[in-house]
Amino acid sequence: MVKQRLSLVTLGVKDVAVSQAFYESLGFEAEPFDSSDVVFFDMNGVVFGLYGRAALAKDANVSVGDLEDKGDGFHAISVAINLESEAEVDATLAEVAAKGGTITKPAEKVFWSGYSGYFADPDGHLWEVAHNPFWSFDEDGRVMLPSKQATN
Amino acid sequence: MVKQRLSLVTLGVKDVAVSQAFYESLGFEAEPFDSSDVVFFDMNGVVFGLYGRAALAKDANVSVGDLEDKGDGFHAISVAINLESEAEVDATLAEVAAKGGTITKPAEKVFWSGYSGYFADPDGHLWEVAHNPFWSFDEDGRVMLPSKQATN
């Protein structure tokens, strides 16, 4: 049985310093760490990391592939920041745009009855910023899915 | 100020049913959800989702690109399952391999003094399975980074 955990999300980036500066400009606080090769952000239970694309590929023992082509392309993955209101989604995307993020999709009402927009970071990694009226948060801001809400 | 959150990790997959079956075969329990288009797994504070590649690209309003080429390639991202011991890492990778996961890197001692291996899921999404002697876990299995350990 594999433990049902997701402990760390690592983005392979072209320039760790550039990406760290971008996320810090959004207000994220990096963990103190004596290395310029990797940066960790404590996402309150899950860790968000930045690491060089080539180094990440090497670490996983996979081919780097045509990184330049993939740099601005679709990585078949996204991460999301879920918020308590549509207004907070709009304000967040506005700040991201002001800080140099590329808005790939302005927030709008979506088919699952929520409100969602997307931005791309300096490497084209996709972040959704969304409000889901069916999801709530615990006191630490962690998403509480319906099944967990029912038990609390 | 953007809230420092990572609420959801969504993998764009070729076949949601195939990917759901793979993760469930590892022991993950999917959330009850009346849709075959998307599957959610409660990762104890962060949500892990499976969604069609084309649907995810459309949702983010980005070009799908050459998905076939990227299907087995490097997505410049990885997620990780951190565990309490090297033995647990080996046992986990062995189970993943037995369930059809592709081991891209057998576990080994790594430069950051930990023990780490990687597997790829049916779409080539990379998962690291690791033991980090410097990280501990809270009672819910959430990673506690050194700075958080110091405050607990």
- Give CA–CA dist A31/B48, Å, rounded: 24
| A68: nearest CA partner in chain B | B76
**What's residue B94's pLDDT?**
93
Contacts of B67 in chain A (CB under 8 A): 74, 76
**End-to-end CA distance of chain A, in Å?**
26
Gap from A57 CA to chain B (nearest CA, Å) = 7
Contact B4 A78 (CB under 8 A): no
- Give CA–CA dist B146/A99, Å, rounded: 29
Prediction ipTM score: 0.76
Phi-psi group of B147: left, alpha or beta (phi > 0 → left; psi -120 to 50 → alpha; rest → beta) = alpha
B120 token code pair? 């790829």
pLDDT at A65 over 90: no
Please tell me which residue, A75 or A108, carries the higher pLDDT value.
A108
Helix ranges (DSSP H) in chain B? 16-25, 53-59, 67-71, 86-98, 146-151
Quote the pTM value. 0.77
Q: Which of B31, B45, B148 sits opposite A42 (nearest CB)?
A: B148
Contact A76 B60 (CB under 8 A): no
Say yes or no: A42 contacts chain B, CB-CB below 8 A.
Answer: yes
**What's residue A152's pLDDT?**
46
Gap from B3 CA to chain A (nearest CA, Å) = 7
pLDDT at B56 over 70: yes
Helix ranges (DSSP H) in chain A? 16-25, 53-59, 67-71, 86-98, 146-151
Q: What is the pLDDT of residues A81-94, one digit of tens each?
A: 888 999 999 999 99
Please tell me which residue, B119 or A148, carries the higher pLDDT value.
B119
Gap from B25 CA to chain A (nearest CA, Å) = 9
Taking Cα atoms as reference points, which of B47, B107, B65, B62 lies closest to residue B83?
Answer: B107
